[in-house]
């Protein structure tokens, strides 16, 4: 049923002495929305530019619909890009910008006019044909850039932080519109962002990138609920990561001793030896307060309480100094800075991370 | 308030200077061009249009045509050399940009008159160029390049090339190269991307370079005199001759006004084409 439209095979790239990509492998199915998520400098833009043909990899292959296009010129690839700064031609009208690729193909004038007006309708800018880019707002420029890349009906559309320059409200709205557009046209999107919320909202799959490698590739739910590494856990789920030593493993739950207490996580099918070092990730909303001194839990000191984004955020310090964050809807938690408390969580909601690295 | 009064101190001298040394002489020149030449020396205050009618005398029209021909030829060479030069200079690393800039500025430290005399040494019979070409066995006898039309063109190109390079450079420097990438991404070949994006966006620089070289090349009479002997007579030489040798000040003034009108028309045309207020590379 599914068909691989784009494949990256062991791509590496240096700029001077810096290795930007350290072996990138990715398969993208037709109609899929794949997000490359990572902080700036992780190599996501370079990956995109290699797919577009604007950079040549040192080694590895780019396959587009099965054909090797690694060395092909950008104009010979059925791929279009929405650039981060939009890169609209300032000397051309909106219509000329959108019709640019069609004109290069020597399409009929009437066909160009029709395709351009259809593309403008898609991005809800009908009637803006004669405007110059300088006469548009940021959001409108964004839409023109998308229309210009769409009009060619590329097999893969590359989007480099397309919403980065927009304000929060407009960004949310454009996220929905872009996602709807992608579904409606059945297009394949490769989308770059450093905003984990954006990635979780829009993607079919997320590839979390760090230091020129993919840390984890999976659906938003997989990446969010079962981060494989502490980096992914922190970056995607803004989770707490604790490190300790394995105490026991039974009934699908692994418990470890750390910071003067006990912490548990679902074992996710791994086998652990007692005494083995272990890291686990638990999200702040799963952290609970307990008064039962016998339960598996950790003693902690409340550092501060703040209210942000509809959530009460409680910063805690464990006995070894590790910071832990708990968050709650509502403000009725009876803890104050300086209080000694005991925290725990349902092991089913915590996951072991960096397991491969630790073995 | 204090700031404002200080601003006045800097602006007023500028206005006074402009009025005194630019606008004043210009008005004087225009008035002069409508006056009559005195029999022995100077002018008499008698209104006439004869000075302007004289310009249309075939001999003088011929001079204007010659000047245009030389200006166009020089400008074509300057575009052909200066555009790629400025374009590639804009692509250099910051360190090399500075070095190039310095190399281009160094010749300005010497008087252009002296640099033109340098070309005499190169061009004269059995001069540097002849020796070089004959030494390489490319020519058998001296080329006698000095006092020829090509020598004047070389002199013009040499004297004015920097203006074109700087004009194109400043416009190519501002070019957002991601636009070229966008064009390539949308299916343009390197040449198509250059033609539809790069050239269009550096056109203001190119055109201002054309103006900055075309207009002076009409008037740089000393180059024509030094490298062209008496064979190449330009509007600039004509004005100088009328003023200094024939002492026909009103006619010299009329010729100058005519040249100024042409210049103004060209700048107006530039503004129409590029929609810009300033000449690229001038500011």
Q: Of A22-31, A289-298, B61-70, give the lowest mean pLDDT range.
A: A289-298
Q: For residue range A114-150, what is the model confidence (pLDDT) as tens digits?
A: 999 999 998 889 999 999 999 999 889 999 999 999 9
Chain B within 8 Å of A230 (Cβ-Cβ)? no
Cβ distance A75 to B197 less than 8 Å, yes or no, reads no
Cβ distance B187 to A90 less than 8 Å, yes or no, reads no
Of B158, B59, B185, the residue nearest A80 (C-alpha): B185
Name the strand (E) or helix (H) holding B85.
helix B58-90
Q: What is the pLDDT of residue B1?
A: 47
The four Cα atoms B183, B184, B190, B194 give a dihedral, to 10 degrees, of 10
* CATH number of the domain encompassing residue A193: 3.40.50.300
Show the tokens assigned to A133: 């880019």
Chain A within 8 Å of B176 (Cβ-Cβ)? yes
Domain shared by A219 and A250, yes or no:
no
Cβ distance B185 to A90 less than 8 Å, yes or no, reads no
Domain shared by A160 and A182, yes or no:
yes
Show the tokens assigned to B182: 């966008």
Residue from the list B192, B200, B201 with its beta carbon closest to the beta carbon of A104? B192
Domain boundary among A230, A265, A298: A230
Q: What angle do CA A163, A96, A100 make, to 5 degrees?
A: 80
DSSP conformation letters of A120-184: HHHTT-TT-TT--GGGS-HHHHHHHHHHHHHTT--SEEEEESTTTTS-HHHHHHHHHHHHHHHHH
Rounded to an integer, what distance in angstroms lies between the CA atom of residue B56 and that of residue B69?
18
Cβ distance A100 to B192 less than 8 Å, yes or no, reads no
Domain shared by A334 and A250, yes or no:
yes
Chain B within 8 Å of A83 (Cβ-Cβ)? yes
Interface test with B, best of A55, A74, A98, A107 (most B CBs within 10 A): A74
> What confidence category does residue A331 fall into, taking pLDDT thresholds of 50, 70 and 90?
low
* CATH number of the domain encompassing residue A257: 2.40.50.100
Show the tokens assigned to A65: 């619909």
Q: Of A134-143, A190-199, A335-344, B267-276, give the lowest mean pLDDT range.
A: B267-276
- CA A194 to chain B, closest CA, distance in angstroms equals 21
Chain B within 8 Å of A79 (Cβ-Cβ)? yes
Chain B within 8 Å of A210 (Cβ-Cβ)? no
Q: Which residue of A has its CA nearest to B187?
A: A75
Burial class (CB in 10 A: 0-12, 13-18, 19+), A167: exposed
Chain B within 8 Å of A93 (Cβ-Cβ)? no
**Is the CATH number of domain B58-274 3.40.640.10?**
no
Cβ distance A81 to B182 less than 8 Å, yes or no, reads yes
Of A298, A302, A309, the residue nearest A333 (C-alpha): A302
Helix (H, G, I), strand (E, B) or coil at B94: helix
Cβ distance B185 to A54 less than 8 Å, yes or no, reads yes
Rounded to an integer, what distance in angstroms lies between the CA atom of residue A252 and that of residue B95?
63
Rounded to an integer, what distance in angstroms lies between the CA atom of residue A79 and that of residue B187?
9
Domain shared by A153 and A290, yes or no:
no
Grouped pLDDT means (10 residues each) for chain B, 283 residues: 67 88 92 87 85 90 89 94 95 93 89 87 84 83 83 92 93 92 94 94 90 85 84 84 88 92 86 70 47
Which residues make Cβ contacts (< 8 Å) with residue A145, sequence separation at least 6?
A82, A83, A86, A87, A88, A162
Chain A within 8 Å of B182 (Cβ-Cβ)? yes
Q: For residue range A69-84, what is the model confidence (pLDDT) as tens digits?
A: 998 999 999 999 999 8
Which residues make Cβ contacts (< 8 Å) with residue B119, sequence separation at least 6?
B151, B154, B155, B158, B226, B227
Residue from the list A54, A81, A87 with its beta carbon closest to the beta carbon of B179? A87
Chain B within 8 Å of A52 (Cβ-Cβ)? yes
Interface test with B, best of A54, A89, A141 (most B CBs within 10 A): A89
Q: What is the pLDDT of residue B278?
A: 61
Show the tokens assigned to B49: 């249009």
Helices (H), chain A: 44-52, 94-104, 109-122, 138-150, 168-185, 196-202, 220-225, 230-237, 355-358
Cβ distance B186 to A148 less than 8 Å, yes or no, reads yes
Count CB neighbours of A275 within 10 A: 11
Domain shared by A128 and A244, yes or no:
no
| A58 and A24 Cβ atoms separated by less than 8 Å | no
Q: What is the mean pLDDT of chain A?
A: 88
Residue from the list B185, B197, B200 with its beta carbon closest to the beta carbon of A52? B185
Burial class (CB in 10 A: 0-12, 13-18, 19+), A127: exposed
Q: For residue range A212-239, what is the model confidence (pLDDT) as tens digits?
A: 999 999 999 999 988 888 899 888 877 8
Q: Of A205-214, A336-345, B21-30, give the lowest mean pLDDT range.
A: A336-345
Q: What values do phi and psi take at A27, rounded to 5?
A: -120, 130
> What confidence category does residue A358 fall into, taking pLDDT thresholds of 50, 70 and 90?
very low
Chain A within 8 Å of B10 (Cβ-Cβ)? no
Contacts of residue B188 in chain A, CB cutoff 8 Å? Answer: 75, 100, 104
Count CB neighbours of B22 within 10 A: 10
Interface test with A, best of B93, B179, B184, B187 (most A CBs within 10 A): B187
Place of tokens 């042409």: B262
Q: Which range marks the domain in which residue A336 is found?
A: 231-358
Which residues make Cβ contacts (< 8 Å) with residue B180, sequence separation at least 6?
B193, B194, B197, B198
Domain shared by A226 and A236, yes or no:
no
Cβ distance B185 to A152 less than 8 Å, yes or no, reads no
Q: What is the pLDDT of residue B4?
A: 60
What are all long-range contacts of B107-114, with beta carbons under 8 Å and residues at least 24 apart?
Answer: B107/B162, B108/B162, B112/B159, B113/B222, B113/B226
Cβ distance B184 to A83 less than 8 Å, yes or no, reads no
Distances (CA, A) of B254 to A151, B27, B43, B211: 59, 12, 13, 22
Cβ distance A83 to B178 less than 8 Å, yes or no, reads yes
Of B214, B205, B207, the residue nearest B90 (C-alpha): B205
Domain shared by A322 and A193, yes or no:
no
Cβ distance A85 to B176 less than 8 Å, yes or no, reads yes
Residue from the list A80, A88, A91 with its beta carbon closest to the beta carbon of B185? A80
Contacts of residue A149 in chain B, CB cutoff 8 Å? Answer: 186
Give me the residue spans of the domains in chain B. Answer: 58-274
Count CB neighbours of A151 within 10 A: 23
Rounded to an integer, what distance in angstroms lies between the CA atom of residue A314 and that of residue A328?
8
Contacts of residue B186 in chain A, CB cutoff 8 Å? Answer: 75, 80, 100-101, 104, 148-149, 152
Q: What's the pTM?
A: 0.79
Q: What values do phi and psi take at A248, rounded to 5?
A: -155, 160
| B89 and B175 Cβ atoms separated by less than 8 Å | no
- CA A113 to chain B, closest CA, distance in angstroms equals 17
ipTM (interface pTM): 0.81
For CA atoms A284, A288, A289, A290, the dihedral sign is negative
- CA A184 to chain B, closest CA, distance in angstroms equals 22
Q: How many structural domains does chain A have?
A: 2
The strand pairing partners of A82, in sequence order, are A159
Q: Which residue of A has its CA nearest to B274?
A: A91
Chain A within 8 Å of B278 (Cβ-Cβ)? no
Domain shared by A214 and A265, yes or no:
no
Cβ distance B183 to A100 less than 8 Å, yes or no, reads yes
Domain shared by A194 and A252, yes or no:
no
Residue from the list B178, B182, B186 with its beta carbon closest to the beta carbon of A152? B186
Interface test with B, best of A51, A52, A100 (most B CBs within 10 A): A100
Q: What is the pLDDT of residue A128?
A: 92
Contacts of residue A81 in chain B, CB cutoff 8 Å? Answer: 182, 185
Domain shared by A217 and A163, yes or no:
yes
Domain boundary among A230, A247, A271: A230
Count CB neighbours of A220 within 10 A: 19
Residue B148 C-beta-side C-alpha neighbours within 13 Å: 10
Domain boundary among A230, A257, A280: A230
- CA A87 to chain B, closest CA, distance in angstroms equals 5
Which residues make Cβ contacts (< 8 Å) with residue B192, sequence separation at least 6?
A104, B183
Show the tokens assigned to B70: 């030389």
- CA B200 to chain A, closest CA, distance in angstroms equals 8
């Amino acid at each position: 049923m599914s068909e691989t439209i784009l494949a990256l095979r062991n791509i590496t790239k240096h700029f001077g002495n810096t290795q930007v990509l350290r072996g990138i492998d990715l398969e993208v199915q037709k109609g899929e929305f794949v997000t490359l998520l990572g902080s700036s400098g992780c190599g996501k833009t370079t990956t995109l530019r290699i797919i577009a043909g604007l950079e040549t990899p040192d080694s590895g292959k780019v396959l587009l619909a099965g054909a090797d296009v690694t060395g092909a010129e950008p104009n010979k690839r059925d791929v279009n890009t929405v650039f981060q700064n939009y890169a609209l031609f300032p000397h051309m009208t909106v219509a000329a910008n959108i019709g640019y690729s069609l004109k290069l193909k020597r399409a009929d004038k009437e066909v160009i006019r029709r395709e351009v007006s259809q593309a403008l309708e898609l991005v809800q800018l009908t009637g803006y044909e004669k405007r110059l880019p300088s006469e548009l707002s940021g959001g409108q420029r964004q839409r023109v850039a998308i229309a210009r890349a769409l009009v060619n009906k590329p097999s893969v559309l590359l989007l480099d932080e397309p919403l980065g320059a927009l304000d929060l409200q407009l960004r949310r709205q454009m996220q929905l519109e872009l996602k709807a557009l992608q579904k409606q046209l059945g297009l394949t999107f490769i989308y770059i962002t450093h905003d984990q919320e954006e990635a979780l909202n829009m993607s079919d799959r997320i590839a979390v990138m760090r230091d020129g490698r993919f840390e984890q590739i999976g659906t938003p739910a997989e990446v969010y609920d079962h981060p494989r590494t502490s980096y992914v856990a922190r970056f995607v789920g803004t989770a707490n990561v604790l490190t300790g030593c394995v105490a026991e493993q039974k009934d699908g739950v692994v418990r470890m001793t750390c910071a003067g207490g006990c912490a548990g996580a679902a074992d996710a099918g791994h086998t652990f030896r007692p005494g083995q070092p272990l890291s686990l990730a638990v999200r702040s909303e799963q952290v609970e307060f307990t008064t039962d001194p016998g339960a598996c839990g950790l003693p902690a000191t409340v550092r501060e309480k703040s209210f942000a984004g509809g959530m009460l955020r409680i910063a805690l310090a464990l006995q070894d100094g590790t910071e832990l964050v708990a968050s709650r809807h509502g403000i009725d938690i009876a803890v104050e800075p300086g209080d000694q408390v005991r925290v725990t969580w349902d092991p089913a909601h915590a996951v072991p991370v960096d397991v491969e690295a630790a073995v | 308030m204090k700031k404002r009064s200080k601003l006045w101190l800097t602006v007023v001298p500028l206005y006074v200077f402009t009025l005194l040394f630019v606008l004043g002489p210009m008005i004087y020149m225009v008035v002069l061009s409508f006056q009559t030449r005195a029999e022995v020396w100077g002018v008499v205050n008698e209104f006439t249009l004869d000075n302007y009618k004289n310009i249309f005398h075939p001999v003088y029209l011929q001079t204007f045509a010659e000047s245009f021909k030389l200006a166009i030829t020089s400008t074509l060479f300057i575009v052909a050399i200066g555009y790629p030069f400025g374009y590639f200079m804009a692509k250099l690393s910051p360190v090399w940009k500075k070095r190039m800039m310095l190399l281009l500025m160094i010749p300005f430290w010497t008087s252009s008159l002296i640099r033109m005399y340098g070309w005499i040494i190169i061009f004269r019979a059995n001069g540097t160029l002849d020796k070089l070409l004959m030494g390489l066995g490319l020519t058998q006898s001296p080329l006698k390049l000095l006092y020829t039309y090509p020598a004047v063109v070389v002199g013009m190109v040499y004297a004015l090339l920097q203006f074109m390079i700087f004009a194109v450079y400043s416009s190519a420097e501002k070019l957002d190269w991601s636009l070229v990438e966008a064009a390539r991404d949308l299916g343009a070949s390197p040449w198509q991307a250059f033609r539809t994006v790069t050239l269009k966006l550096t056109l203001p620089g190119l055109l201002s370079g054309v103006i900055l070289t075309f207009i002076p090349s009409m008037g740089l009479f000393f180059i024509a005199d030094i490298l062209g002997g008496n064979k190449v007579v330009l509007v600039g030489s004509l004005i100088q001759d009328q003023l200094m040798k024939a002492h026909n000040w009103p006619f010299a003034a009329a010729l100058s006004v005519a040249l100024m009108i042409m210049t103004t028309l060209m700048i107006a045309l530039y503004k129409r084409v590029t929609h810009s207020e300033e000449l690229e590379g001038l500011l």
